[in-house]
Amino acid sequence: MYKQILKPALFLLSPEKAHHFAMGILKFFTRIPGVRGILRNKYAKSNENNKVTLFGLEFPNPIGLAAGFDKNAEYIHELPLLGFGFIEIGTVTPKPQNGNDKPRLFRLPKDEALINRMGFNNHGVDAVVERLKNRPKGVIIGGNIGKNKITPNENAVNDYLICFDKLHDYVDYFVVNVSSPNTPNLRELQEKEPLKMILSKLMVSNSSKKHPKPILLKIAPDLTEDQLTDIVEIVEETKIAGVIATNTTISRDHLKTPKETLDTIGNGGLSGKPLSNKSTEVIRFLKEKSNGSFPIIGVGGIHTEKDALEKLNAGAELIQIYTGFIYEGPDLLKRINMSLSQMRHA
């Protein structure tokens, strides 16, 4: 139904309008008595074979929603009904910000991809916390945190600490986002010394809490092997819980979309099918270089069951989807879960 009816209709709208319209429909229909049960039964049946225990948390299945889709924790009651094993909200910044000028989200249908330059648009950490105070039980929620655009890099650690402290009681794990290409100079924080400093200070804050939470680092797919080796060293040195590989890419290589169209769209992070092999290679490199010393969540270009298995076989313990969900709909989650269950049961 999604690919035959809903998707063609949504793709007539601009990507941002389509997103808000689709999620508005989901919210509306799940208020009708019985609909939540129907969706849960169709997409989110629990399956013992697919449970994953990681970071001291039990995930009902290994498929999560990547950050950027539910930036403000507005849909945390509805999205688990579609089969997600966990939801990552954000990126959240200390102060609300509008993000970059529109249009800032673009479809590349020939490539089954998106380009975004959203710019961490979100309602700010205080508004997100208020929503999370009413979070659904039994749903694992991650908090993806970043810095405000106006905060200079030398003060970035303060923004991460503010979000970390305010969200700490309301999320199950944290993701430090220094890899978005859409906040000026943010990726410079992936360099060894600034990154080590941010993660170390977060770990100190974490250790002072009554119930410390897992902290993960989200990295770009555009890092060199030397930079990835630095990442392995930093993770092992700071003792954070793991890595999410990968964010969007600034590369435009091997796309079917004409160059003139890409030039008209301009800057932004590319996600979707063209990212699949690149992100899998990063996962495999990190797994081998670290001798599996830390868990990896794999994300980037998962549009089929095969894509999901490739990420898991490369060394990911969990996976996340976003663009694949937009192009394939909730049936993608159902197919991946069924495939994993059959494989693990065999």
- Choose among 131, 136, 148, 147: nearest CA to 73: 131
180 catalytic per annotation = yes
H-helix or E-strand spanning residue 91: strand 86-92
Strand ranges, E, within 60-121: 63-65, 86-92, 105-108, 113-116
Distance CA 242, CA 249 (A): 20
Q: Is 255 helix (H, G, I), strand (E, B) or coil?
A: coil
Number of neighbouring beta carbons within 10 Å of residue 225: 10
Which structure tokens are listed for 131?
A: 């929503």
Distance CA 337, CA 342 (A): 9
Q: Are 284 and 314 in contact (CB under 8 A)?
A: yes
Residue type, 128: V
Q: The dihedral of CA 85, 190, 192, 199: what is its sign?
A: negative
Which structure tokens are listed for 102?
A: 């529109």
Of 180, 271, 276, 290, the active-site residue reads 180
Residues serving a catalytic function are 180
